[in-house]
Amino acid sequence: MPSRPTPRQVKATGARDAHGHILDAEGGALYVHLHRESGLAHRHYVLKPWQVRALAVATSRVTLVLVIAAVATWGWMAGQASRVPLLTQEIGRLRTEAERIDTLSATLAELQARYDQVQRMLSAATAQQALAVARDTAPQAPRTPPGIGGR
């Protein structure tokens, strides 16, 4: 009796090893047949090799990374753009405050000038009063007739 060879077991580690790369464009057209779990409704699609290549590119990791980077960049720019109205309001508020500060600064300078003028006037009067008081209260030396004493 001839012996039958035992079939060799295939160790598949994933869909790529067991069935080949499903989105490989060199494999020709891709037939997609969809069935509902219950019922007879079904659809049948045939993807041409160029469509299979486009699908492979669209579902690749590189495309995923690029899409994530694009969404993150767009999100950052949208966040910056949303700040524009708030910053415009802040600039308007700061300009109003700067005008108010300028007005207060001018008023303060004018009041300081008036205060200095009053101080000068009071210090001049006070100095004259001090001299007058000093003359009145200073002890006077006895007057010696000319010819006696000194030279």
79 and 48 in a single domain? The answer is no
Per the structure, how many domains does the chain have? 2
55 and 67 in a single domain? The answer is no
Whether 70 is in a domain gets the answer yes
Query: Do 56 and 50 form a contact (C-beta atoms < 8 A)?
Result: no
In whole angstroms, what is the distance from residue 59 CA to residue 49 CA? 15
Whether 18 is in a domain gets the answer no
Nearest CA among 45, 24, 49, 25 for reference residue 33: 45
Phi, psi of 44 (to 5 degrees): -135, 120
72 and 90 in a single domain? The answer is yes
The residue among 59, 77, 107 that closes a domain is 59
93 and 74 in a single domain? The answer is yes
Whether 106 is in a domain gets the answer yes
Whether 99 is in a domain gets the answer yes
Tens of pLDDT, residue by residue over 66-82, are 999 999 999 999 999 99
109 and 75 in a single domain? The answer is yes
45 and 35 in a single domain? The answer is yes
Whether 111 is in a domain gets the answer yes
Q: Which residues of the chain have pLDDT under 70?
A: 1-20, 25, 138-151
Query: Do 34 and 27 form a contact (C-beta atoms < 8 A)?
Result: no
**What pLDDT score does 119 carry?**
87
87 and 43 in a single domain? The answer is no
Is the pTM for the entire model greater than 0.85?
no
Which H, E and C letters describe the chain, residue by residue?
CCCCCCCCCCCCCCHHHHHCCCCCHHHCCEEEEEECCCCCCEEEEEECHHHHHHHHHHCCHHHHHHHHHHHHHHHHHHHHHHHHHHHHHHHHHHHHHHHHHHHHHHHHHHHHHHHHHHHHHHHHHHHHHHHHHHHHHCCCCCCCCCCCCCC
Whether 79 is in a domain gets the answer yes
Provide the residue range defining the domain that includes 45.
24-59
What is the rounded average pLDDT for all residues in the chain?
A: 82
66 and 101 in a single domain? The answer is yes
